[in-house]
Amino acid sequence: MIASLANVAPHPGTAAQGSAIVSVRNIKKTYPGGVEALSGITLDFPEGQLTTLLGPSGCGKTTLLKIIAGLLPATSGEVLVGGRTVTGPGPERSFVFQDFALMPWASVLRNVAFGLELRGVRKSEREAIAVGHIAKVGLKGFEYKYPHELSGGMRQRVGLARALAVDSAVIMMDEPFSAVDEQTRRKFQEDLLGLIANEKKTFLFVTHSIEEAVYVSDRIVLLSRRPSRVSTIIEPKLDRSGDPEGIRRDPAYLDAVEGIWQSLKKYLD
């Protein structure tokens, strides 16, 4: 990819904590064939926060995330990352895929180290880094297993470790838990909160589950039905310092879930 070489890493001096590291400016996307997925999205993603795109299935969440990732061209509008226009994928962004996108012929270790492998990092060095991230996502001891030997939840942990391993400032996650069963999903959500607290990165998270959005997010962007626009932005102020189970009983959590449900309801008729 020649385009990706043009994308420069964020310049640390200019972006203060809380200011927008990713800015989406009037993005429109019409797929060839005439499906209008996004009709003018303008959004800021504050640095160091987890912002969730929440909306009904088919409203264009994946489309927006892939445009930000530089994997899909927008029809019009622009995306700025660290103040620079996105023309393709870049080292300051990494992606966690809905369907995991693991290479079945590669061990967990090679999958996690793959981003570094593509960047030409020496084998011993990248494997040392990967081993650390494998442990961080709770897969210590599974380094030499292959994806088909792992459960869905474990596979997505590999996907997350791969995104962490390249040490990008922004991590994008497209419905990372949608292919994972309910129990695993709750455990994973709790672990994710711990990881986020330690990582000091900006997360862009996509989900269609209200509970999941409220549980993990600092900010929630509600998208309307296709062609999609930003309808509301909600900032659930939850106390995440206590035990992760407690959050689900926190009145603020329950209020936020109810509030979002009320605003989404009007799109249902």
Partner 1 sequence: MPVAATNDFTEPAVAPVASSTSLRQIASHPLTLRFVSFGLLLVAWEYAGRIPISVAFPTFLETMRGLLDMAGDGSLLKAFLITLKPLIAGLMISIALGVGLGLLMGLSRFSEWLLGPIFIIAQAAPLAALIPVLTFAYGIGLTAKIMTVCIMAMPVIVMNTLSAVRNTPVSLVEMGRAFLGTRSQIITRIILPAASPMIFAGLRLGAAAAFIGIVLAELLITPTGIGDLISYHQSVADYPKMYASIFSIIVFSVLFIECLERVETVLFRPEKHAS
Ligand X SMILES: Nc1ncnc2c1ncn2[C@@H]1O[C@H](COP(=O)(O)OP(=O)(O)O)[C@@H](O)[C@H]1O
Question: Given the rule CB under 8 A, which residues bind partner 1?
Answer: 1, 4, 66, 69-71, 88-91, 93-95, 97, 99, 101, 103-107, 109, 114-115, 117-119, 143-149, 162, 166
CB of 30 to ligand X, least distance (A): 9
CB of 219 to ligand X, least distance (A): 18
Measured in Å, how far apart are the chain's first and last C-alpha atoms?
A: 44
Rounded to 5 degrees, what are φ and ψ at 79?
-115, 130
For the chain, how big is the Rg over CA atoms in Å? 18
The amino acid occupying position 122 is R
As given in the structure block, the two tokens for residue 113 are 């180290």
Residue placing its CB nearer to partner 1 in the complex, 34 or 104: 104
Contacting positions for ligand X (CB under 6 A)? 31, 33, 35, 37, 55, 57-63, 226
CB of 68 to ligand X, least distance (A): 12
CB of 260 to ligand X, least distance (A): 16
Report which of 213, 234, 197, 219 is spatially closest to residue 50, judged by C-alpha positions.
219
Residue placing its CB nearer to ligand X in the complex, 4 or 57: 57
Residue placing its CB nearer to ligand X in the complex, 112 or 260: 260
CB of 40 to ligand X, least distance (A): 15
Site string for Mg ion, 33-72 (x = CB under 5 A): -----------------------------x----------
Does 111 interact with Mg ion (rule: CB under 5 A)? Answer: no
Residue placing its CB nearer to ligand X in the complex, 168 or 224: 224
The partner in contact with residue 148, picked from ligand X, Mg ion, partner 1, none with C-beta cut-offs of 5 to 8 angstroms by kind, is: partner 1
Complete DSSP assignment for 175-194: STTTTS-HHHHHHHHHHHHH
Residue placing its CB nearer to partner 1 in the complex, 17 or 105: 105
Are 112 and 158 within 8 A, CB to CB?
yes
List of E strands, the chain:
20-30, 36-46, 50-54, 76-81, 84-85, 93-96, 170-174, 202-207, 219-223, 230-234
* Cα–Cα distance, 253 to 215 (Å, whole number): 7
User: How many residues of this chain interact with Mg ion, rule: CB under 5 A?
Assistant: 1
Question: Maximum CA pair distance of the chain?
Answer: 57
Residue placing its CB nearer to ligand X in the complex, 24 or 59: 59
